[in-house]
Structure 1
Amino acid sequence: MEALKSQSVTQSKAALEFVLGMKGGNGDSSYANNSSPQLKIIQAVKPILEHGIYENMRFKFDVGGIFRMADFGCGTGQNTLVVADTIVSAVQRLLTEQEMPEFEVYFTDLPTNDFNSLFQMLPPPRDKNGVATRSYLSAAVCGSHFTRLFARNSLHFCHSSMSLHWLSQVPESVQQRRSPRAYVSSECEEGVAAAYLHQFDTNFSSFLKARAEEIVEGGCMFISLIGRNADTHIMEDQGVLGYSARHLEYAFEALVMEGIITKEKWESFNLPWFNPNLKEVESIVKREGSFAIVSMKIVGGMNAHPTTDVKKGEENMFGRIVANQHRALFENIVEAHLGCKKVTNEFFLKIAERASIQFEEYLSKKIELLVAFLKKKKDKQ
């Protein structure tokens, strides 16, 4: 019963909004210092993003016009600013033959996001000589992107990277299960995969509906999320999610073996994360009906870690890198479930130990990214 109460607190929709944020600050295990794979993803999809803007954005701005864009699930760190600069620069090049509007960029994420660190990284709008050093004005907007956050018909472009595979909650039918599997896999009991897919469907449909109200007619949206290049309904390990989840499971098991936590505490933990395939996302977009699919595909082959080789004597260093990457992504939700900072520290030490010993398993893992460029359809009269 105690495990059920803990789970209901940490994995309910309302509670998750306050524990799902990436780890803030600028420490060794902060998201800002452990997001180099995400930067590689941003760089890999940049040509797709820019091509979509050049081919599909058609706006005419008068004097005093404003171009507004929002980055949903923006996170923190330099990667966030790279995205903003990329989009603004692409639109500026697109509009060189007309009156140039002002640009407003809204950084949007859950209340737990470290917006303070993000805005401290922003260059000032102008230097001491009055020369422009930043091409846009900015603001933070807090809240779940599965709901409306902006006025109707106010945004020209929306972006979301590495965010929409996170769910608003663990499916209710899964919250009561007892299993050492923290994610969807072929080893899960019947119905778990369907429950996760249904939750993703609900969340992603809500996201599309909310953005359709906020984006102006002809506005566009670019999304990228961790996907899977498979058609099977029950999947082997959901790609890179399964790889990360197994490391979390190992740490839980180690803590149970040492008597630090109960087995019930381990088996009541589930990740609110689902990696969809192309057919699943395409089906949801078409059924929701607000957006036309300009392009959608899986981009694969990117390394899950910043290094591709571990030399003799570097094993422990690699283990710390892996542990810090997992802390950046999962520390908040793990600590909320374990309820103790000391135990959480021990948890991630276990991941570091395993990674230093089994580094070859880590080095081989690749990321499969699902990317889509969408354009809002004409409003129905």
Structure 2
Amino acid sequence: MHLYKSVWQGEYINKSISTFKERKMEVAQVLHMNGSVGEASYANNSLLQQKVISLTKLLRDEAVTNLYCNTLPKSLAIADLGCSFGPNTMLVISGIIKVVEKLCQELNHKSPEYKVFLNDLPKNDFNNLFMSLGAFKEKLRDEIKTEMGPCYFFGVPGSFYSRIFPDNSLHFVHSSYSLQWLSKVPKGVDNNNKGKIYLASTSPSSVLKAYYKQFQTDFSLFLKCRAQELVENGHMILTFLGRKSDDPSSKECCYIWELMAMALNDMVLQGIIDEEKLNSFNIPNYYPSPIEVKLEVLTEGSFTINRPEVSEVNWNALDDLNAFEFESREPESLRHNGYNMARCIRAVAEPLLISHFGKDVIEDMFDRYKRILTDRMSKERTKFTNITILLTKKP
């Protein structure tokens, strides 16, 4: 096996497609998963995301097989958008390479060279990501047990709501649990969604419309950018954290943030957090329905929809663990309370919360949030809805 190389690639921005406004830049600068490898890090609290990646493996393998057999590329360019860091990124990449290597053996073809592009926002922990490549290389060599083509890694910091790759440079794009993040908090939401930090049944209709409009704008731009970057008949698999309901404020997709808002409101009542601070904080997320995702793909027009899928996972990633090949270091007593869910959300949202409320209130807030989650999860069966879609670039 050839040596791996890690190369930093600068962000490529096509300003004719996207001009970053001040607020958008602010979100891009503070939005990232908790870095390092500590207790509150994303690397140690991403089991739920790992389960989702495993759920989409069959569709991903099918897409890679179809792509390789129809194109037989000598050089295969793969991009993982919103890669974060930790074991999940390498899980996707290793799976793709294993499928291609198996096909090469079956077809008696020479192994292609692999160009792997790992993209996330600039404050992602790329250092830990690239430090893991040595162990990844050894494990992959042991599992494949045959000589494979050279594999080059590139770090690509930047927003995927802009151009980040040259024209016609990618064969396969993967993104999981990233596209529900918006490029910015929708215009007109601040101070019109008081006491809440996301959509809720009591949110004004103007707030619901603003969130949906921002999703339409962002996802359409994402598709337009990727259409220019993918080769003809290139494939793309996208997994959103979404909803089945037609109602964007349904409990199905908003409950996790509603419970966090309860913790924050308690702190407002006790004078720990200023009320105006709470009223001006909104999570830049949108959980789309399958119909909304499909509509934007059809409207933008660059891709064929091969297969949409909807799945569910429990909030507590340790529930039904036997159905997945994972090992947990958590004691059995923690499997049915809010401890793991609070850690999972903290790994994802803490940088946003610190940037708005300050670091001093974070421990108190997550202690309250954990207690609220524990109470609700002991009484209700709580699940996340996932929307996965396989797209092919039209000729």
TM-score tier, shorter chain, comes to: 0.7 to 0.9
The aligned runs of 1:336-351 (5 Å cut-off) are: 336-338=355-357, 340-351=358-369
Normalised by the size of structure 1, how large is the TM-score?
0.87
The size of the alignment, in residue pairs, is 357
Query: Residues 77-124 of structure 1, C-alpha deviation per residue, up to 9 Å, x if partnerless?
Result: 101100111112223333442332111111100001111111112226
For 2:274, the equivalent position in structure 1 comes to 262
Give 1:60 shift. 2.6
- CA separation of 1:92/1:181 partners in 2, compared to 1, >3 Å: closer, same or farther? same
- CA separation of 1:133/1:79 partners in 2, compared to 1, >3 Å: closer, same or farther? farther
1:372 aligns with 2:389: yes
Query: Residues 198-255 of structure 1, C-alpha deviation per residue, up to 9 Å, x if partnerless?
Result: 10111111111111111111110011011111234x4323x2x412202220221121
| 2:28–2:159 Cα contact (<8 Å) kept | yes
Which of residues 270, 276, 287 in structure 2 aligns to 1:275? Answer: 287
The aligned runs of 1:191-206 (5 Å cut-off) are: 191-206=206-221
For 2:297, the equivalent position in structure 1 comes to 285
For 2:49, the equivalent position in structure 1 comes to 38
| 1:126–1:133 Cα contact (<8 Å) kept | no
**Equivalent position amino acid for 2:290 in 1:** L
Which of residues 124, 131, 155 in structure 2 aligns to 1:140? Answer: 155
For 1:177, the equivalent position in structure 2 comes to 192
| 1:22–1:75 Cα contact (<8 Å) kept | yes
- CA separation of 1:59/1:315 partners in 2, compared to 1, >3 Å: closer, same or farther? closer
Which of residues 84, 92, 99 in structure 2 aligns to 1:83? Answer: 92
| 2:316–2:336 Cα contact (<8 Å) kept | no
Q: Which structure 1 residue ranges, 4+ long, deviate > 6 Å from structure 2?
A: 131-135
For 2:311, the equivalent position in structure 1 comes to 299
| 1:73–1:109 Cα contact (<8 Å) kept | yes
1:352 aligns with 2:352: no
For 1:71, the equivalent position in structure 2 comes to 80
What are the ranges of 5 or more consecutive residues in structure 2 without an aligned counterpart?
1-21, 321-330
| 1:126–1:134 Cα contact (<8 Å) kept | no
Give 1:156 shift. 0.6
| 1:148–1:210 Cα contact (<8 Å) kept | yes
**Equivalent position amino acid for 1:262 in 2:** D
CA RMSD of aligned residues (A): 2.6
**Equivalent position amino acid for 1:290 in 2:** S
- Structure 2 distance, partners of 1:313, 1:372, is 35
SS in 2 for 1:191: helix
- Structure 2 distance, partners of 1:181, 1:133, is 52
**Equivalent position amino acid for 2:296 in 1:** I
For 1:246, the equivalent position in structure 2 comes to 258
- Structure 1 distance, partners of 2:375, 2:309, is 35
| 1:178–1:264 Cα contact (<8 Å) kept | no
SS in 2 for 1:105: strand
Which of residues 202, 225, 247 in structure 2 aligns to 1:210? Answer: 225
- Structure 1 distance, partners of 2:362, 2:232, is 47
**Equivalent position amino acid for 2:99 in 1:** A
- Structure 2 distance, partners of 1:371, 1:334, is 28
- Structure 2 distance, partners of 1:359, 1:277, is 24
The percentage of aligned residue pairs carrying the same residue is: 34
Query: Residues 259-312 of structure 1, C-alpha deviation per residue, up to 9 Å, x if partnerless?
Result: 111112112211100011111111100111111111112112x11112339xx9
**Equivalent position amino acid for 2:394 in 1:** K
| 1:110–1:144 Cα contact (<8 Å) kept | yes
| 2:82–2:119 Cα contact (<8 Å) kept | yes
1:236 aligns with 2:250: yes
- Structure 1 distance, partners of 2:234, 2:377, is 45
**Equivalent position amino acid for 1:321 in 2:** N
What are the ranges of 5 or more consecutive residues in structure 1 without an aligned counterpart?
1-10
SS in 1 for 2:189: helix
For 1:3, the equivalent position in structure 2 comes to none
**Equivalent position amino acid for 2:356 in 1:** H
- Structure 1 distance, partners of 2:237, 2:101, is 17
Give 1:134 shift. 9.7
For 2:236, the equivalent position in structure 1 comes to 221
Give 1:317 shift. 9.4
| 2:192–2:207 Cα contact (<8 Å) kept | no
- Structure 2 distance, partners of 1:265, 1:208, is 35
For 1:5, the equivalent position in structure 2 comes to none
For 1:112, the equivalent position in structure 2 comes to 123
Give 1:132 shift. 6.7
For 2:170, the equivalent position in structure 1 comes to 155
| 1:243–1:365 Cα contact (<8 Å) kept | no
**Equivalent position amino acid for 1:84 in 2:** I
**Equivalent position amino acid for 2:151 in 1:** Y
- Structure 2 distance, partners of 1:254, 1:176, is 18
For 1:335, the equivalent position in structure 2 comes to 354
After alignment, is 108-117 or 52-61 more displaced?
52-61
- Structure 1 distance, partners of 2:150, 2:87, is 16
| 2:114–2:151 Cα contact (<8 Å) kept | yes
| 1:123–1:134 Cα contact (<8 Å) kept | no
Give 1:178 shift. 4.3
Query: Residues 294-352 of structure 1, C-alpha deviation per residue, up to 9 Å, x if partnerless?
Result: 1112112x11112339xx994699443232112101101011110x2111222112112
- Structure 2 distance, partners of 1:243, 1:135, is 46
Normalised by the size of structure 2, how large is the TM-score?
0.84
- CA separation of 1:72/1:316 partners in 2, compared to 1, >3 Å: closer, same or farther? closer
**Equivalent position amino acid for 1:345 in 2:** E
